[in-house]
Amino acid sequence: MRLLLLAMTVSLVGCQPKQTDFEMFDGQRAYAEVEALVRFTPRDAGTPGGRQAAEHILSRLESIGVQAEIDTFVDSTPEGDKTFRNVIGRIPGKTEKWIILGSHFDTMPGIENFQGANDSGSSTGVLIELARIIDATGTPPDIGIIFAFFDGEEGIAGYIPGDGLHGSRHMARQLVESGQRKDIEAMILLDMVGDKDLNFTIPYNSSKEMVKELLQAAHATGHRDRFSLTRSIITDDHVPFLKIGIPAIDLIDFRFGSEPGLNDHWHTEADHLENISAESLEITGKVVLQLVRQLLKNQYTD
C-alpha cells in the first residue's frame, strides 16, 4: 500500500517545476490538524489529555506512512516525578545525518477555557503537514528528517532548573548518550506560528548560520517581511540542542495579541482557533519547507 502511494506521488512531483516545491504546503490541511489536536485539550503534560494528544499525533504520522513511536519517560519536576511522552517520527535519508524539526504539543496548565490553538497547536499542525509532504516526495532525502513532538515544554515554576523543556532536554540527553549527536546537522523549532497577524520575532539565542539560511528561505518564498530578528533570549525547546552544540533556531511569533506589538493572547483563553489562520500556517510551512530544502541542498534538485 505504501509503495503504491509513493509511486503515484513520485510521478506527480515529476510533473511540477522543482523550485516550487514549497508551494505544496497546504495551510487548510495544517489548520485541520490543529482543530483535530485541540479536541484533546487540556493536554497538559502527565494528564489523560496529554496522553491522548500523543497517541493522536502518533496515529496521524502512521496514517501518513511515517515511522513513528512514543518515547515515554519519567522526569523530575517542581511537583515531583511526572510521566512525559515525546512523539518521534522519522523519514530516513541516504546518509546517517539527520535534521530535527521540532514542536511541543502540551498546554500550559491552570488557564481557564484554554485551547492552546497557537501555543502549541499551530506548530504541531504545521509539523504533521510537513511530514506528509516530505514523505510524499517518495525518495529518501540526502539527510534524514526527525519530526520531534515534545511533551512538557511549559514551565510551571518560571523555568527554574528542572522545570519545563522536559521533552527536548530528554531528547538532547539521548543524543549525547547514544553518540548520535554528531549525526545531527541542525534543529529547527516551531512555536506559536499561527497568529492571524503573523510576525516572527526570531530570538537572539538562535544559531547565526541558521538565521542566515532562514532569511534566505523567507526571501525565496516571498515572506521576508514576516521575519524580524530580536535582541531577546527565549527559553524554548531549541535551547537543549544549542547546549550540546547543534545549530538550532526558534521560529516563534512572540507577539500574539489583540493589537500589533502586544502578546496579550499568550497563555490566556484568547489563544483559540479563531485567533489563528490557515494562511499563517501556510506561510510558516512554506518557509520551513524551503529552509529544509536548502539544508538538504540536493534533495529536490538532483
Of the two residues 126 and 175, which places its CB atom closer to Zn ion in the complex? 126
Of the two residues 44 and 282, which places its CB atom closer to Zn ion in the complex? 44
Of the two residues 170 and 265, which places its CB atom closer to Zn ion in the complex? 265
Listed ranges 92-100, 101-109, 200-208, 285-293: which one lies at the site for Zn ion (CB under 5 A): 101-109
Task: Give the shortest CB-153-to-Zn ion separation in angstroms.
Answer: 7
Task: Give the shortest CB-163-to-Zn ion separation in angstroms.
Answer: 13
Q: What is the DSSP string of 90-142?
A: EE--SSS-EEEEEEE----TT-TT---IIIIIIHHHHHHHHHHHHHHT-S--S
- Told to check if 119 binds Zn ion by CB under 5 A, we report yes
Listed ranges 50-58, 108-116, 121-129, 278-286: which one lies at the site for Zn ion (CB under 5 A): 108-116
Listed ranges 49-57, 100-108, 123-131, 140-148: which one lies at the site for Zn ion (CB under 5 A): 100-108
Nearest to 79 by CA among 151, 164, 171, 153: 164
Total residues contacting Zn ion (rule CB under 5 A)?
Answer: 2
For residues 40 and 117, is the Cβ–Cβ distance under 8 A?
no
Task: Give the shortest CB-285-to-Zn ion separation in angstroms.
Answer: 20
Question: Alpha-carbon dihedral of residues 237, 238, 239, 243, nearest 10 degrees?
Answer: 130
Handedness of CA 152, 156, 158, 160 (dihedral sign): negative
Task: Give the shortest CB-154-to-Zn ion separation in angstroms.
Answer: 5
Listed ranges 116-124, 155-163, 208-216, 247-255: which one lies at the site for Zn ion (CB under 5 A): 116-124
For residues 258 and 197, is the Cβ–Cβ distance under 8 A?
no
Task: Give the shortest CB-108-to-Zn ion separation in angstroms.
Answer: 5
Task: Give the shortest CB-6-to-Zn ion separation in angstroms.
Answer: 37
Task: Give the shortest CB-263-to-Zn ion separation in angstroms.
Answer: 11
Q: Which are the contacts of 34, defined by CB distance < 8 A and separation ≥ 6?
A: 117, 121, 122, 124, 125, 194, 273, 276, 281
State which of positions 233-272 bind Zn ion (CB under 5 A).
none
The one-letter amino acid code at 89 reads G
Binding mask 59-88 for Zn ion (x = CB under 5 A): ------------------------------
Looking at beta carbons, which residue is closest to Zn ion? 119
Q: Where are the beta strands (DSSP E) in the chain?
A: 67-77, 80-91, 98-104, 144-150, 184-191, 200-202, 227-229, 248-252
List residues near Zn ion by CB under 5 A. 108, 119
